[in-house]
Structure 1
Amino acid sequence: MLVRFVSSETGEVLMFAETAAALLQAIGKETTARGVFTPPEMPLAAEKLRQAVAQSEDPPEDEELDEKGKKKPPAVGFRQRAWPLIDMLERTGRAGRDANIIWEAPQAF
């Protein structure tokens, strides 16, 4: 299932529900079929995501190793998945009091 984030100031971002859920949970939002970020929420939400990215970069206790014994990097990490939403939150948050971001999905995820 796809989740669509739409900003009044930037383009839209599409994410798989699993990724969107992880990002919204890091911010403290519920994973409902529809939701909104208001201008006062956006800077804090972006900061929470940046903190979640920093924590995700701490090495896990049981790292996956390749055949040479080196740590395997994930194909696409949390940082790469979070960046479009962080950028959207920051840019839209600077746009003024009428700016908004909504998300839509076919159902709660």
Structure 2
Amino acid sequence: MLYKFKSKSGSDVIMMGPNGDEVLRLIGKQPAPKGIIEPGDMPAAMAAIEQAVLAEEAAREQAEAEARAEGHTVPAREGVTLRQRAWPLVDLMKRAHPADHDIVWGA
């Protein structure tokens, strides 16, 4: 499944199913074919995503530090980080929130 997040405030944001599911869970929404993020929910959603991004980055830094302490190297990151995946949606929320526009998907 693809998620296509739409708002009057900016361009569509498209995510593959598993990535969209993850981001929706982070902001307290159940993955579903259709849904809405209302402007009143956006500050908490942006904060939740930022907290998850910081936790992911801290875990990576800790793993690298532990590997260096043991004389090992951590393999290069594979794939896209949460920050890279979620940034377009956060950016859309930053535009939609002050304009009082909803973000919908699947509609």
For residues 72-100 of structure 1, give each alpha carbon's deviation from its aligned partner in whole angstroms, at most 9, with x where no partner exists.
2233111100101111111110113xx11
Please report how far the alpha carbon of residue 58 of structure 1 lies from its aligned counterpart in structure 2 after TM superposition.
2.0
Please report how far the alpha carbon of residue 56 of structure 1 lies from its aligned counterpart in structure 2 after TM superposition.
1.1
3-state SS, counterpart of residue 96 of structure 2: helix
Runs of at least 5 residues in structure 2 that lack an aligned partner in the other structure? none
1:95 aligned onto 2:96: no
Alignment of 1:1-109 (within 5 A): 1-59=1-59, 69-71=72-74, 72-96=76-100, 99-104=101-106
For residues 48-87 of structure 1, give each alpha carbon's deviation from its aligned partner in whole angstroms, at most 9, with x where no partner exists.
1111111111225877x8xxx4222233111100101111
Is the helix fraction higher in 1 or 2?
A: 2
3-state SS, counterpart of residue 10 of structure 2: coil
Letter of the structure 1 residue corresponding to residue 80 of structure 2: V
The count of residues paired between Structure 1 and Structure 2 equals 100
Please report how far the alpha carbon of residue 103 of structure 1 lies from its aligned counterpart in structure 2 after TM superposition.
1.1
Letter of the structure 2 residue corresponding to residue 70 of structure 1: T
Runs of at least 5 residues in structure 1 that lack an aligned partner in the other structure? none
User: Could you state the TM-score of these two structures normalised by the residue count of structure 1?
Assistant: 0.81
